[in-house]
Structure 1
Amino acid sequence: HIALKMDEALLTVINDLETDLLWLCVTPGWPPMQLWTRSLQFHFGEHGNYSLWLKNLNNVSHTNCSIMVNSNPVNSYIRECHTHKCLIMLCSYSQRLTIFNLLMRPLYLVLKSSHVNFLLPIQELGSPRMDALVTDNILPSPASSSRRLRSLDTFRGISLVIMVFVNYGGGRYWFFKHSSWNGEPNLDLFVFIMGTSIALSINSMLRGGKSRSSLLRKVLWRSIQLFLIGLFIVNPNYCLGPLSFNNLRIPGVLQRLAWSYLVVASLDLLVDAWWSPGLDVLLYWPAWLCVVVLEIIWLCLTFLLPVPDCPTGYLGPGGIGDMGLHVNCTGGAAGYIDRWLLGENHIYQSPSSKVIYATHMPYDPEGVLGSINSVLMAFLGLQVSIFLFFPAAVMVHLIEKRRIITLTVLTECSTDKGFIPVNKNLWSLSYVTTLACFAFVLLLLVYYTIDVKKWWSGAPFYYPGMNSILVYVGHEVFEGYFPFRWRMVNSQSHTEHLIQNVFATSLWVFISYILYRKRIFWKI
């Protein structure tokens, strides 16, 4: 009997996944030569200690593997359950306030005529707004052309709160972490809702009498501002002197938003289309043609571009992935283009694949090639905005045949297989299609609940959604400072991580609420 000690990094993978894994027992000469394999399934719990035993190594036909539990794992989800209970209690309390306010509607209308406003604090806690009655016609009238849809800000706030919580650590639970390569449990919905907001804002400003040339200049200036703010955020050298261009990271989240905003807003301004239910594709055919051309460019570069010492069309993580056959091929064409165009020192140096796959090549998940697909996602968000004006077209879009069929064909209904796997690191076509489908359904529910039926005011997500740039920049700049982070007694405990991350996220929601009450908004 031979006891093999697991590598610390491999043990971390087991602890994070907490699922059934398929073990391959191989000879000590692996990976150059694999002589025999035996499979073994076992459920690994967090903080458990295990030993892998191999028997009869000299006789291949009788060789087998077994796992011994040296110390029992712990239940890591108890604290998460308690947190969910607290959130459910808060939601229940908010719902009771909503029901109370609905019952008090007649009294409210009487008191409102007498200029009594004692019910206003209840409205701020999540009750439906009373300043506008629900009507069957939701087409925006000329008198209320500047009316702001609360559902869009609420949707943006939901996306932002999820992003802040995940960036702060997500309680160190594996399902809140960025995937090491294929698959992505986290939701980056900012690009989608930005496309929806573009259509509504440009349409409103055009009806207000502004020229397309002036709006194009505004779009260009706003894109430049977003890009420069993104450079400041991803290069945190605030207290160490001036930044050096030698190691300045160029791509980033805000930089990708700036690029997507510039392209999609320009397409929307240059296409002279009038909204009509069910005909958005036909009326936007020049813009769709541009987007299709961009996607063809992405497909050709991804699958046809020759990458030195790498197979053509490679989409893997490199490193020890794929049996270590493509060590320096992280990201395939996407990584190669970034390193060639921007330089190795100007992209992300610690990708999520570094720990699991032991990659040593720099790779940026917000790179150049993936930004093409971010344009597609923003444009899909722009197209979805049509249902905000014409509810009859909702069912047409809800079917989403094009996206669902595309997703099924590309991924073969799996995470790691298929022609194009779901991959956030690459911002693959299947990932964009998946996220766009989910975002559309979520936006539909939020819009119907808030702006149509007035069942919910959008609180508390509405407040960070109104100050999204400030909250995003603030949570990035002050991430390592108290009270958003403090030294823990036991850094291996989910309890302390969950408390810290939930508190930090809630603090930004509270800050955005205070700024909302003070009418302080950071807009560019």
Structure 2
Amino acid sequence: MSNAIPAAPARLLSLDVFRGLTVMGMVVVNNPGDWGHIYPPLEHAEWHGCTPTDLVFPFFLFIVGVSLAYALAGPKQRHEPQGPVLRQVLRRAAVLFGLGLLLSLYPRFDFSVVRVMGVLQRIALVYLGCSVSYLKTSWRTQVILLISLLIGYAALLQLVPVPGVGPANLAPATNLGAWLDRAAFTEAHLWKQSRTWDPEGLLGTLPALSTGLLGGLAAQWLRRAATPATKVRGLLAAGVLCALLGLLWNTWFPINKALWTSSYVLFTGGLALLVLAALYWLCDVRDYRRWAALVVPFGVNAIAVFVGSALLSRTFGLFKLPLPGGGVGGLKEWLYSWGIVPFFSDPRQASLAGAVVCLLVWWAVLSLLYRRQWVWKA
């Protein structure tokens, strides 16, 4: 391998592959055949802890940070007026937030109980905050901001008394973040599975910003004038350090996705750095690209598959059909009951098969869109 220092690439294949793998994981996690018999690794941790499923969302936010640093690098380096760029960033964030609200409203459009926050809403806020930070500050300031958010959030959750409840705590319905969500939105506009707290609530968006900042810092490291081997070593070292710090912090501030704890940010961010390092070495340095063609269609149309799968699932639920075991269910349940369940004795394996079938259907659709170069960008 040459010792020459290459110019920073305009686009990373490894980033599209990483995004594609993450979106594929999201499709499998969000579309089990039977929500009552989820294949164990595809379940979220009950509260504290981390399963493979709990890696999907932070990986995506990390990728958001990497992507925006590449997308905004040109205007920042050319010292162009930032007004037009910031307006574009704000427009995209508003579109993402609006799509999240649409998914919350569809198909009933009952504004009295619409969930205000959600996955796309958090992505929108992280994208907005990290974009402004990238454009307005140096990488050193971003490191200070990241550390300050993690320490400040830990202090808020573990030291500040909860109004009307008592001492600071990390319980689902009585922590400071849950109190803030109820105060800001009322219970009718929170996550419908609880109505007392929201896993994508307001306060938890602060440490989620740190996940995006970590991705942005990784991108700036990759854009440095350095040899590929140096870049990979740096990502690997940072990944191991972050993951170990997250595990250490877990002893007194537990790893928890719903709370998006500081230890969770470091642990999942460390793993994301390691994955990015491996994919960068394979795809962009060693040029192993053929296998990536199976994954990239998910990466370039990530928002389309997220929104499309949610809308289709809820649309199928509008069609009520008789199920083999009695009762009625939506079109998706009907297809699953007739087409997959009879071939499996273990309901968890049948549920996994249902998720894999959904993934294959989306792969066929997205591959067609990719070949025709149809890309939906928010």
Structure 1 position 246 matched with structure 2 position 112: yes
Residues 154 and 483 of structure 1: CA distance in aligned 2, closer, same or farther (over 3 Å): farther
Opposite residue 284 of structure 2, the aligned amino acid is D
How big is each residue's C-alpha offset from its partner over 1:323-364, in whole Å with a ceiling of 9 and x where there is no partner?
Answer: xxxxxxx2511111111112111110215xxxxxxxxx5221
1:294 is aligned to 149
1:432 is aligned to 265
Opposite residue 521 of structure 1, the aligned amino acid is V
How big is each residue's C-alpha offset from its partner over 1:474-493, in whole Å with a ceiling of 9 and x where there is no partner?
Answer: 11111253986524155972
- 5 Å-filtered alignment, 1:217-228, equals 217-228=87-98
* Structure 2 gap ranges (5+): 317-329
Please say if residues 260 and 375 of structure 1, whose CA atoms lie closer than 8 Å, have aligned partners that are also in contact.
yes
After alignment, is 499-508 or 387-396 more displaced? Answer: 387-396
2:326 is aligned to none
Structure 1 position 337 matched with structure 2 position 180: yes
Please say if residues 336 and 354 of structure 2, whose CA atoms lie closer than 8 Å, have aligned partners that are also in contact.
no
1:451 is aligned to 284
1:393 offset after TM fit, Å?
4.1
| Backbone CA RMSD of aligned residues | 2.5
1:405 offset after TM fit, Å?
4.9
Residues 507 and 259 of structure 1: CA distance in aligned 2, closer, same or farther (over 3 Å): same
Q: Residue 337 of structure 2 is aligned with which of 485, 488, 491?
A: 488
Alignment TM-score, normalising by the size of structure 1: 0.61
1:404 offset after TM fit, Å?
4.0
How many Å separate the matches in 1 of 2:98 and 2:120? 9
- 5 Å-filtered alignment, 1:312-351, equals 312-317=167-172, 330=173, 332-351=175-194
How many Å separate the matches in 1 of 2:253 and 2:33? 28
1:149 is aligned to 12
How big is each residue's C-alpha offset from its partner over 1:10-66, in whole Å with a ceiling of 9 and x where there is no partner?
Answer: xxxxxxxxxxxxxxxxxxxxxxxxxxxxxxxxxxxxxxxxxxxxxxxxxxxxxxxxx
Structure 1 position 169 matched with structure 2 position 36: no
Opposite residue 497 of structure 1, the aligned amino acid is S
Structure 1 position 214 matched with structure 2 position 84: yes
- SS in structure 2 of the partner of residue 459 of structure 1: helix
Structure 1 position 235 matched with structure 2 position 105: yes
- 5 Å-filtered alignment, 1:61-100, equals none
1:367 offset after TM fit, Å?
0.6
- 5 Å-filtered alignment, 1:124-523, equals 137=4, 139-140=6-7, 147-169=10-32, 172-185=38-51, 186=53, 187-188=55-56, 189-206=59-76, 210-237=80-107, 240=108, 243-271=109-137, 273=138, 284-308=139-163, 310-317=165-172, 330=173, 332-351=175-194, 362-389=196-223, 390=226, 391=228, 392-400=230-238, 403-411=242-250, 418-457=251-290, 458-480=292-314, 481=316, 486-488=335-337, 490=341, 493-523=347-377
Please say if residues 484 and 504 of structure 1, whose CA atoms lie closer than 8 Å, have aligned partners that are also in contact.
no
How many Å separate the matches in 2 of 1:287 and 1:494? 44
User: Which protein, 1 or 2, shows the higher relative CO under an 8 Å CA cutoff with sep ≥ 6?
Assistant: 2
1:230 offset after TM fit, Å?
0.8
1:206 offset after TM fit, Å?
4.3
* Structure 1 gap ranges (5+): 1-133, 274-283, 318-329, 352-360, 412-417
Please say if residues 243 and 269 of structure 2, whose CA atoms lie closer than 8 Å, have aligned partners that are also in contact.
no
How many Å separate the matches in 2 of 1:264 and 1:341? 23
- SS in structure 2 of the partner of residue 478 of structure 1: helix
Please say if residues 153 and 262 of structure 2, whose CA atoms lie closer than 8 Å, have aligned partners that are also in contact.
no
Q: Which structure's CA Rg is the greater one? A: 1
How many Å separate the matches in 1 of 2:364 and 2:80? 36
How many Å separate the matches in 1 of 2:19 and 2:96? 17
User: Across the two proteins, how many residue pairs are aligned to each other?
Assistant: 345
Q: Is the helix fraction higher in 1 or 2?
A: 2
Please say if residues 484 and 503 of structure 1, whose CA atoms lie closer than 8 Å, have aligned partners that are also in contact.
no
After alignment, is 163-172 or 216-225 more displaced? Answer: 163-172
Q: Is the strand fraction higher in 1 or 2?
A: 1
Please say if residues 331 and 426 of structure 1, whose CA atoms lie closer than 8 Å, have aligned partners that are also in contact.
no
Opposite residue 473 of structure 1, the aligned amino acid is V
How many Å separate the matches in 2 of 1:207 and 1:286? 17
Residues 236 and 138 of structure 1: CA distance in aligned 2, closer, same or farther (over 3 Å): farther
- SS in structure 1 of the partner of residue 149 of structure 2: helix
How big is each residue's C-alpha offset from its partner over 1:383-410, in whole Å with a ceiling of 9 and x where there is no partner?
Answer: 1113423332432342237524532431
* Identity within the alignment, %: 28
Opposite residue 407 of structure 1, the aligned amino acid is G
How big is each residue's C-alpha offset from its partner over 1:404-447, in whole Å with a ceiling of 9 and x where there is no partner?
Answer: 45324312xxxxxx211111111111111111111111111111
Opposite residue 225 of structure 1, the aligned amino acid is V
